[in-house]
Amino acid sequence: MAASRTLPEALAGAARTDAGYCFVSGDTDRWRSYADIRLASLRVARSLHEAGLRRGDLVALVLPDGEHFLVSLFGASLAGATPASLYPPPAIGELSRYVELTAAILRASGARAVVTTRVLAPSFDRARRGCPELSLVLCHDDLDATALEPDVWPALDDIAFVQFTSGSTSTPKGVALTHANLSANIDAFGGPSAVATSTDDIGVSWLPLNHDMGLVGMALGALYAGRPCVLLPPQAFVKRPAAWLRAITRHRATVSFAPDFAYDLCVRRVNDLDGLDLSSWRVAGCGAEPIHPPTLAAFSRKFAASGFRDTSFLPCYGLAEHVVAATVAPLGRRPRIEQISADELTARRVAVPHVGDGRSIPLASCGSALPGHQLRIAGEDGRPLPERHVGEILLAGPSVMRGYYKEPTLTAETIREGWLHTGDLGYLSQGELFVCGRAKDLIIVNGRKYHPQDLEWAVDGLDGVRRGRVVAFGAVRSGGADRVVIVVEPTGTVPPGVLTDAIRREIGDLFGLYVDDVALVRSGTVGRTTSGKVQRAATRTRYERGELEDETLKASARD
């Protein structure tokens, strides 16, 4: 295994190879060697230094373009600053609301600079009034000073970057990873016991680079190993899923990861299989959201004729707090599926193979922990559970994040005695992990995680909503994305239909997300005495039992 190295060291190493990134735009491929990328990054580093940024300053990156994002990230790192990735604006929605939301993160995290596009820069400049520590709003294409070799190199224990996964609350969640974290995860994941990459491998990815699987799993994984990686804009994939498969065909790619929804999108929307050749695709990774075995089966069926092999599927489990990957299934094996009795799972929290009548759920094995890492399934008392018992997934080892950026309390709640409490539920069967739910209040739609408190914050400010009387949650649905539900106590000053529309519009604008159900409930339904977490769980239970329905109906009847 390669020695631990910092991001600037890995970049310098990659610059000595012939490999590089290929940026795809439409049907055009543009290769840039890692040496070129490093040179451009050194120019950014010099510019940031000249602008007054110093070691440890947080530099927020709001850059939708892949090349601009990577060069700015590397540049900030070479300058000794701490780069932080933020979500770029959604494809639809009001820019002003997006900037407001993002400014809240910049304020709370104490960011010194934001590097963004010429279009977004004026909005961030205006937002500076509310962010006392934000002294610089920079356009990426102005960062073109003469390249100079850095005089200081970061230490392995310095923060390599911060990935913000949460938006609007007063405490944004920024996952802070050290260079040692990054190096350990990348080497274990690419190593012989996991993906077993070599310099002959070619990666293809359309994943967003502000997301761990896109940035670390694909782009940095390739850079650290000095092998090529082809990058497509996420929107190009979503618009035309065939663009992903065509890029794999064109480049004879061997490694490509995506969430479940991407495989589903290909099954539903790729109609023209002419000219597709997926026979080079050695590792078709699947992670970042619950894996639905029927999706994998449908993908294999549809693309078998294009040379796809179901032994290429590599189900994984991971999360940003653990860099990216935590467990990975054995290479070259058809996904291992267990058909589990749904009743036993909910009633006794035991995963019993399904026989006879009753509902059942198919689950895919996500394999075992990466070498040098540990996994444990714990009961509510924190003690390890035997096989087939469902408990919280805990992780330990060199990939466990440093913590949430400037959030010691949150960090101490999440990492206890060296164990990362993932908030995900799973069980072990023959030593392999099956993920079967969530203890944390996360809503997952199309591979992206949304924090309910962000949605609640957005709705709480609207006219016609009683302050603090909003609960958001994801009603988990087997075989599909979560249903987004928002329960609100109305003040009665705004007609229910108008209020429902306003709530949907707000969430659509801010997150590009559709609210499946807005439930307007009688006052007193959503208490405010207990914690958000307790409140959410209680409201969700009542919602799922149908106990909130009457109130909703009464509200719409008055409409």
Partner 1 sequence: MTGPASIRIEDGVLDALKYVSRRPIEPTLDNDLVADLGFDSLQVLELVAELEDRFEISIPLDNLPATRTVAQVVAEVVRLVGERTTG
Residue 508 contacts partner 1 per CB under 8 A: yes
Residue 220 or 444 with smaller CB distance to partner 1:
444
- Separation CA 482–CA 450 (nearest Å): 11
Residue 437 or 512 with smaller CB distance to partner 1:
512
Residue 262 contacts partner 1 per CB under 8 A: no
Q: Which of 1, 16, 56, 91 binds partner 1 (CB under 8 A)?
A: 91
Q: Which of 1, 2, 95, 273 binds partner 1 (CB under 8 A)?
A: 95
Residue 259 contacts partner 1 per CB under 8 A: no
- Inter-residue contact 354 to 341 (CB < 8 Å): yes
- Separation CA 517–CA 514 (nearest Å): 9
* Contacting range for partner 1; rule: CB under 8 A; set: 42-50, 85-93, 300-308, 406-414: 85-93
Residue 10 or 286 with smaller CB distance to partner 1:
286
Residue 208 contacts partner 1 per CB under 8 A: no
Cα 515 to Cα 165, 315, 468, 486, 506: the distances in Å are 20, 29, 19, 7, 10
Residue 139 or 147 with smaller CB distance to partner 1:
139
Least distance to partner 1 from the beta carbon of 108, Å? 25
- Taking residue 355's Cβ as centre, other Cβ atoms within 10 Å add up to 9
For CA atoms 81, 84, 90, 94, the dihedral sign is: negative
Residues in region 106-135 near partner 1 by CB under 8 A: 119
Least distance to partner 1 from the beta carbon of 173, Å? 21
Residue 559 contacts partner 1 per CB under 8 A: no
Q: Pull the structure tokens for residue 366.
A: 């996500």
List own/partner pairs for 197-201 with CB under 8 A and 24 or more apart: 197/221, 197/225, 197/227, 197/255, 198/227, 199/17, 199/19, 199/225, 199/226, 199/227, 200/227, 200/254, 201/227, 201/254, 201/255, 201/282
- Separation CA 301–CA 60 (nearest Å): 43
3-state secondary structure 302-366: HHHHHCCCHHHEEEEEECHHHCCEEEECCCCCCCCEEEEEHHHHHHHCECCECCCCCCEEEEEEC
Residue 269 contacts partner 1 per CB under 8 A: yes
Residue 475 contacts partner 1 per CB under 8 A: no
Q: Pull the structure tokens for residue 552.
A: 């909703």
Cα 355 to Cα 147, 344, 435: the distances in Å are 66, 11, 20
Residue 3 or 92 with smaller CB distance to partner 1:
92
Residue 91 or 155 with smaller CB distance to partner 1:
91
Each residue 163-202 as x (binds partner 1 by CB under 8 A) or -, in order, gives: ----------------------------------------
Residue 100 contacts partner 1 per CB under 8 A: no
- Separation CA 36–CA 41 (nearest Å): 9
Q: Which of 211, 349, 504, 540 binds partner 1 (CB under 8 A)?
A: 504
Q: Which of 239, 252, 301, 348 binds partner 1 (CB under 8 A)?
A: 239
CA 342 to chain centre: 28
Strands 20-25 and 465-475, by their bridges, are unpaired
CA-nearest of 469, 487, 494 to 559 is 494
Q: How far apart are the first and last CA of the chain?
A: 66
Q: Which of 18, 514, 534, 558 binds partner 1 (CB under 8 A)?
A: 514
Q: Pull the structure tokens for residue 211.
A: 């997301």
- Inter-residue contact 526 to 487 (CB < 8 Å): yes
Q: Which of 371, 423, 492, 512 binds partner 1 (CB under 8 A)?
A: 512
- Inter-residue contact 338 to 362 (CB < 8 Å): yes
Residue 238 contacts partner 1 per CB under 8 A: yes
Residue 269 or 533 with smaller CB distance to partner 1:
269
Residue 382 or 508 with smaller CB distance to partner 1:
508
> How buried is 240 (Cβ within 10 angstroms: 0-12 exposed, 13-18 middle, 19+ buried)?
middle
SS3 for 413?
helix
Residue 264 or 432 with smaller CB distance to partner 1:
264
- Inter-residue contact 416 to 408 (CB < 8 Å): no
Least distance to partner 1 from the beta carbon of 487, Å? 18
Least distance to partner 1 from the beta carbon of 502, Å? 8
* Contacting range for partner 1; rule: CB under 8 A; set: 87-95, 104-112, 414-422, 430-438: 87-95
Residue 93 contacts partner 1 per CB under 8 A: yes
Identify residue 467 by its one-letter amino acid code: R
Residues in region 420-449 near partner 1 by CB under 8 A: 445-446
* Contacting range for partner 1; rule: CB under 8 A; set: 135-143, 291-299, 312-320, 496-504: 496-504
Q: Which of 66, 80, 89, 490 binds partner 1 (CB under 8 A)?
A: 89
Residue 501 or 547 with smaller CB distance to partner 1:
501
CA-nearest of 249, 243, 255 to 202 is 255
Least distance to partner 1 from the beta carbon of 301, Å? 21
How many residues touch partner 1 (CB under 8 A)? 25
Each residue 387-426 as x (binds partner 1 by CB under 8 A) or -, in order, gives: ----------------------------------------
Instruction: Please count the residues of the chain.
Output: 559
Least distance to partner 1 from the beta carbon of 148, Å? 35
Residue 517 contacts partner 1 per CB under 8 A: no
Residue 454 contacts partner 1 per CB under 8 A: no
Contacts to partner 1 by CB under 8 A: 89-95, 119, 235, 238-240, 269, 445-446, 501-502, 504-505, 508-509, 512-514, 516
